[in-house]
Amino acid sequence: MTDENRETQLYELEALESVLREKKLTKTSDWTNENEEIEGIIEVGFDSISDPKVTLEGTSTSGEDFKVSLDILPSVRLKFRLPKDYPTESSPHFTLESYWMTENQMKMCEAELEKICEENLMMGVLFLCYQGIIDLIENLPTRTIQLNDAFVLGKNGESIESLKKKILGKGEEAAEEHFVNTLFDCEVCYDSLMGNMCIKFQPCSHVFCKACTFDYYRSIAKGVISKAMQCLAEGCKSEAPQPVVKEALGDELYSKYEEIMLEKAIREMDDTVECPRENCKKVAYVTDRTRHLAECSYCQFSFCNLCKQTFHGISNCKWKKGDKEKLVKQWQEGDASERAEMCRQFGGEKHVEALVERFLNEEWLDSNSKPCPKCAVSIEKNEGCHKMHCTKCDTYFCWLCSATLDKEDPYAHFQGDGSCNGRLFEGVHHIWNEDEDEMFEMAFDDGSDYESDDSLDLEIEEEDDVVDWLAEEGHFDDGPDGSEDFEGEEEEEGAENAGE
């Protein structure tokens, strides 16, 4: 009878092993030794339960509450020992082990196992007990695990932190096993493949076959890499796990990809920028944010983080016109992410806004003013003739060609042989009558291209009369009429810009 029972036991275990997945039936004794009782462990998984999403809740020893989501309920272990007279006379001896079950749930499972054995005397019950636990758990409210109520907590020095760690690990193993043994349709090639031939992206849960995913990643890596490898679904931003990327690219391409991603990560740090040198473009560090000093750790170039030119200390930045226009446009038209990157690169929103305001002011000055040829203060011309007077350095100059004029006779410039001859009032908006037109011509009678007309009704005996008339019109007035003050840069403050 003993030999028959042993043979029956081994046959039952062989059948059970063929039904269970690999490594779900473990031997804990020598099954070939007829003098030993057969002992083992059946791992009971719950991936067949519909809607297996589980929430793990609890309070740590520090009093902090936690809530973690699990894809699948972690498995439990069913330890068994088969007496030598099983199944003809005795039933198996069971011990249930679980990290998450409460004492009440454990008792319910033990009662279910005892009931199955009683109802199936003289029969093999291992598979029935395995399936009975699954059926029982499916009907229990196990979608939320209250970890502080776990039966195993406190036994053998088990803390809630270590228990939580074990459950999370087991949950991940269970989810991976479920994925590997499930059939999926690839969203690219539409082939149906088992999970071990596919890749599941997180947190989006999109699934694609490895062949399509690897081909796609290799095609990207052979070109210009601008971002991390992502899910293949359109519009999805879930990043691919690094082991997957490494397997897809191989050592050489992955080394290139890893270097680019590392530099990208460093550049996104608050104190890092890209080296402006064309033959470098490596990562540089902002070592002194107050003075905007940045230093490249590769080529040792020290530069200003604002204008990207060689570091100039406390002196003002010298920006190129194209760079100014690009920065203003990027700030005015850029989206939130572009603006955030500019703030990070230039040391904060205040710095960027100050630069934009400064460049807009300079753009307006470029369009509406000219620099004094001697002191470079910006001078605006709002009315009057083209003889200009800088009150900062007392220089006279021509608005048309910026030439410095003779202080004793500034109008001689408009009467000579140069390009400004006869253009003193060119473009000046004034409503002339015929008499005034004749008088304007006579202002340059001496040495000019204009000639007087003897038929004038207005009698003018000498050229001084014209000068007197021009003076009455305000053309020789260096005072407030015909001039306007304008403050330029700090070093130009207080300068008066005049058109006369």
| pLDDT 10s digits, 227-246 | 888 899 888 989 888 889 88
State the pLDDT at residue 499: 47
Domains of the chain by residue range = 2-178, 184-267, 270-311, 319-369, 372-499
Locate the DSSP E strands across 28-153. 38-44, 54-59, 65-70, 76-82, 93-97, 144-146
Average pLDDT over residues 433-448: 46
| CATH fold of 184-267 | Herpes Virus-1 (3.30.40)
What is the DSSP-derived secondary structure letter of residue 404?
B
State the pLDDT at residue 365: 65
State the pLDDT at residue 71: 79
Q: How far is CA 345 from CA 53, 131, 275, 323, 351, in A?
A: 43, 61, 12, 15, 10
State the pLDDT at residue 356: 78
State the pLDDT at residue 460: 38
Q: Please give the residue that has the higher pLDDT: either 291 or 211.
A: 211
Name the range with the highest mean pLDDT among 43-52, 167-176, 378-387, 417-426.
Answer: 417-426
Name the range with the highest mean pLDDT among 153-157, 305-309, 411-415.
Answer: 411-415
Model confidence at 31: pLDDT above 70: yes
Locate the DSSP E strands across 50-182. 54-59, 65-70, 76-82, 93-97, 144-146
Please, are residues 91 and 125 in contact by the beta-carbon 8 Å criterion?
Answer: yes
| pLDDT 10s digits, 370-394 | 888 887 787 877 777 888 888 878 8
Q: Nearest-CA neighbor of 41 among 53, 29, 50?
A: 29
What is the DSSP-derived secondary structure letter of residue 432?
-
User: Burial level of 312, CB count in 10 A (0-12/13-18/19+)?
Assistant: middle
Q: How far apart are CA 28 and CA 79, in angstroms?
A: 9
State the pLDDT at residue 492: 37
pLDDT, the chain, mean: 78
| pLDDT 10s digits, 118-165 | 999 889 999 999 999 998 888 877 678 888 888 888 777 778 888 888
How many Å separate Cα 116 from the centre of its chain?
58
Whether 2-178 and 184-267 share one fold: the answer is no
pLDDT band at 470 (very low <50, low <70, confident <90, very high): low
State the pLDDT at residue 458: 37
Provide, rounded to the nearest whole percent, the portion of the chain with pLDDT above 70.
79
Model confidence at 344: pLDDT above 70: no
User: Burial level of 79, CB count in 10 A (0-12/13-18/19+)?
Assistant: middle
| pLDDT 10s digits, 78-129 | 999 999 999 999 999 999 999 888 889 999 999 999 999 999 988 999 999 9
Q: Nearest-CA neighbor of 86 among 23, 11, 29, 25?
A: 11
State the pLDDT at residue 213: 92
Q: Please give the residue that has the higher pLDDT: either 252 or 470.
A: 252
State the pLDDT at residue 366: 67
What is the DSSP-derived secondary structure letter of residue 343?
H
pTM of the model: 0.47
Q: Please give the residue that has the higher pLDDT: either 114 or 430.
A: 114
| In CATH, 2-178 is 3.10.110.10 | yes
Task: Please provide the DSSP assignment of 14-36 as one string.
Answer: HHHHHHSPTTSEEE-S-TT-TTS
Q: Nearest-CA neighbor of 57 among 143, 147, 140?
A: 147
Please tell me the least confidently modeled range out of 109-113, 271-275, 386-390, 398-402: 271-275
State the pLDDT at residue 268: 66
State the pLDDT at residue 16: 92
